[in-house]
Chains A and B, each alone.
Chain A
Amino acid sequence: MKSLRKREVIGFLALTFMLTGLYMAFIYAPTDANMGDVQRIFYFHVSSAWVAFLAFFLVFLASILYLRSRSRRWDILAYCSAEIGVVLTTLALITGSIWARPIWYTWWTWDSRLTTTLVLWLIYVAYLMLRAYSEGSRGARFAAVFAIIGFFDVPIVFMSIRWWRVQHPGPVIAAGANGGGLAPPMLYTMFVCLAAFTLFFIYLLLLRMELEKIKDEIEHFKTTSGGS
């Protein structure tokens, strides 16, 4: 009951921030001089990508903790976080592609940022498939090792725009002394959208983890009832 209340509060906060972020992205933030209104996709696109990275970092951390402790709660956290990470990466890929069409005149290009992100998506889809087709603690162990190795693509995705010459826009938030950063209203909008997606991620994670716990309870119930 207490966790339900906590989840509801986080859900309400997430919705409030989402609506504020939407208002800021469409009304408050100025129109980009080069790209025009289509640049406004950036606020939700970047937020979904960043929170997906956070989700995969949690998968990485929870998988290590699961291998150390073999505690089911870390396994649940890794599994649920991976699923939400895949949903958010899907959104980042789709919205990026929609943005690319009027700006690059193509839906997709094999740029290193786009390619490494697609690889990341495939890695975690494979992780979810592994989870779906393997059962018990052995399957969970395999998945944990897979998730730990798979996480190494995240820093590659993050650094790809710094390491290689890419078509994808360079870092704009931490642009540094070379300029090219965002105007303050755009930056504030970005932070509100980022907070909205982080809160929404926590809400989804709590909801998804509860589902997994109920499944466990049913399984436990069936086992104990069958045995008696």
Chain B
Amino acid sequence: MGNLVYLFAAYTVIWVVLFAYVINLSFKNRALRKKLEALESTKKGKE
């Protein structure tokens, strides 16, 4: 039973780290896309 704690700890670390990394990339991706769209619409407005 004692060893199961280590097993669950290891798998929790894996899932938390991978999930956090994917979420972080997705948020950054979305933010940059919005920024690019805003820049494009500003340019169109000027034209």
Contact = CB atoms under 8 A, between A and B. Distances in A.
Interface string B16-37: 0110011001101100110110
Contact of B13 (A91, A211, A215, A221): A91
Interface residues of B, number: 25
Contact of A40 (B2, B7, B33): B7
B21 to A, nearest CB: 6
Interface residues of A, number: 31
B47 to A, nearest CB: 10
A218 B40 CA distance: 9
Contacts of A101: 6
A93 to B, nearest CB: 10
A37 B29 contact: no
B36 A214 contact: yes
Given A214-B29, A221-B36, A99 B6 contact: yes
Interface of B: 2-4, 6-7, 9-11, 13-14, 17-18, 21-22, 25-26, 28-29, 32-33, 35-36, 39-40, 43
